[in-house]
Amino acid sequence: MTLGSAVYTQPAPAVDFTAFKTYYLDPQMEVWEDGTQKLPQPVGSTTVTTIQQQMIKYGYTQQATPPTGTNLPNADVGLRLVFLQSNFTYYVSSGYCSVYWAYYACWPGWAYAGSYSTGTVLMMMVDTRTGQIAPAPDNATVWATALYAVLRGSSLENSNQLNSAIVRAYDQSPYLKNSP
Amino acid sequence: MNRAIAIAALASALFIARPAAAQQSGWTDYSPSKTLFTMGYQISEPIGDLKSYTPGTSFRGVTFDWRSMLSRSFSLGLRFNWNRWNDNASQVQATVTPGGTPAGATPGTLSGPVFRYADQFALQAVGHFYFGDRESLFIPFAGVGLGGVWSNSYQQTIDLGFSQNGFYFISTPELGLLWNFSRGRTSAALHLSVLYNFTTASFRNVSNAQALVETMGLTVSY
- ipTM score: 0.86
CATH number of A6-88+119-176: 3.30.160.670
Q: Do A7 and B105 touch (CB under 8 A)?
A: no
**A101 torsion bin: left (phi>0), alpha (psi -120 to 50), beta (else):** left
Query: Domain coordinates of chain B in residue numbers?
Result: 34-221
In the predicted model, is pLDDT for residue B150 greater than 50?
yes
Q: Which residue ranges make up each domain of chain A?
A: 6-88+119-176
pLDDT of residue B8: 54
CA distance B60 to chain A (A): 22
**pTM as predicted:** 0.71
Using a CB-CB cut-off of 8 Å, the residues of chain B touching A164 are none
Residue type, B52: S
Would you call A111 and B156 a contact, using CB atoms and an 8 Å cutoff?
A: no
Q: How confident is the model at residue B18 (pLDDT cuts 50, 70, 90)?
A: very low
B163/chain A closest Cα distance in angstroms: 15
Contact: B108, A10; criterion CB under 8 Å: yes
CA distance to partner chain B, nearest, from residue A168 (Å): 8
Residues B66 and B77: beta-carbon distance below 8 Å: yes
Any CB–CB contact under 8 A between A178 and chain B? no
Provide the residue-wise pLDDT of chain A in tens; the chain has 180 residues: 667 788 989 998 888 899 999 999 999 999 988 878 899 999 999 999 999 999 999 999 999 999 988 788 999 999 999 988 777 666 555 568 888 888 888 888 777 755 566 788 899 999 988 665 555 555 688 999 988 878 765 556 568 889 999 999 999 999 999 876
Q: Does B96 touch chain A (CB under 8 A)?
A: yes
Calculate how close chain A gets to B87, using CA atoms only, in Å.
Answer: 13
| Angstroms from B156 CA to nearest CA on chain A | 8
Please judge whether B102 and A4 are an interchain contact, meaning their C-beta atoms are less than 8 angstroms apart: no
Q: Are strands B210-221 and A28-33 parallel, antiparallel or unpaired?
A: unpaired
Cβ under 8 Å to B: A residues 41-60:
none
Q: How far apart are CA A44 and CA A36, in angstroms?
A: 22
**Which residue in chain A is spatially nearest to B113 when comparing CA positions?**
A4
The shortest CB-CB distance from B104 to any of A3, A9, A13 is to A13
**Which chain A residues contact residue B111 at CB under 8 A?**
6-8, 168, 172
CATH assignment of B34-221, among 3.30.360.10, 1.10.3720.10, 3.90.180.10, 2.40.160.20: 2.40.160.20
Which residues of B are less than 8 Å from A173 in CB distance?
Answer: 109
pLDDT in tens, B96-119: 765 545 556 678 888 888 899 999
